[in-house]
A and B are shown apart, each in its own frame.
Chain A
Amino acid sequence: MGVGLIFKIAAVGLLVTILNQVLKHSGREEQAFLVSLAGLILVLTWLVPYIYELFTTIQALFSL
């Protein structure tokens, strides 16, 4: 939780970008696509619990 989350997402983004460049120049477009998909899923597994927590907090707070 905290600022670390942002830096984790940025790190995954950078990693995926570099891997994509490497894979693209060595002719493996499919792997490049799979790497970015994996990056997407990884970031989603971090973000979705927080989004869920946000909505449950609001529900509890505003007695919706």
Chain B
Amino acid sequence: MEIIKLSLFGIMGVLLAIQFKGIKSEFNFYIGIGVALLIFFYAVNSLTALISELGVLQKYLKGGESYLGTLLKIVGITYICEFSSGICKDAGFSSVAGQIEVLGKLAVMFAGLPILLAVLEQIQGFM
């Protein structure tokens, strides 16, 4: 199964990184980044399959085709912010990670604004 291979690889990378904790701790951090990148690139092909499946879902949405695009955009923004803030936390800079997360929340809100306006217009229509 993919998941078992991935998690074993992650654990192996972490165990290798711990060797450098005492002597040279910055390499501990580099190996962490390397393992995170490799796990992402390993998962990216299953991600593309998932997204093409989502495209099939699009034809059931009569009115809101663009909403699925916005949903994907939000997932992308969240993933990038999660990845970079996680790396900053590993390095011990939790304040920088907090800033990145706040930026991510703002970007998600900005991306979701048109949907919110559409919902409000719908409600306005009922009134």
The chain B residues found within 8 Å of chain A, CB to CB, are 9, 13, 16, 19-20, 23-24, 26-27, 30-31, 33-35, 37-38, 40-41, 44, 47-48, 51, 69, 72-73, 75-77, 79-80, 83
- The residues in A between 10 and 61 inclusive whose CB is less than 8 angstroms from any CB of B are 10, 12-13, 16-17, 20, 36, 39-40, 43, 46-47, 50-51, 53-55, 57-59, 61
Cβ-defined partner of A12 (8 Å) among B9, B27, B75: B27
Q: How far is the CA of A51 from the CA of B34 in the complex (A)?
A: 9
| Cβ distance B15 to chain A, nearest Cβ, rounded Å | 11
**Number of interface residues, chain A, beta carbon within 8 A:** 30
For residue B83, which residues in chain A have a CB less than 8 angstroms away from its CB? 54
Can you add 20 more A-B contacts, CB < 8 Å, to A5-B37, A50-B41? A3-B9, A3-B38, A6-B31, A10-B27, A10-B31, A13-B20, A13-B31, A20-B24, A36-B24, A36-B26, A43-B30, A47-B34, A54-B40, A57-B44, A58-B76, A58-B79, A61-B48, A62-B72, A62-B76, A63-B73
Q: How far is the CA of A61 from the CA of B72 in the complex (A)?
A: 9
Residue of A1, A13, A47, A57 most packed against chain B (CB within 10 A): A13
For residue A64, which residues in chain B have a CB less than 8 angstroms away from its CB? 73, 76-77
| Cβ distance A13 to chain B, nearest Cβ, rounded Å | 3
| Cβ distance A7 to chain B, nearest Cβ, rounded Å | 8
The chain A residues found within 8 Å of chain B, CB to CB, are 1-3, 5-6, 9-10, 12-13, 16-17, 20, 36, 39-40, 43, 46-47, 50-51, 53-55, 57-59, 61-64
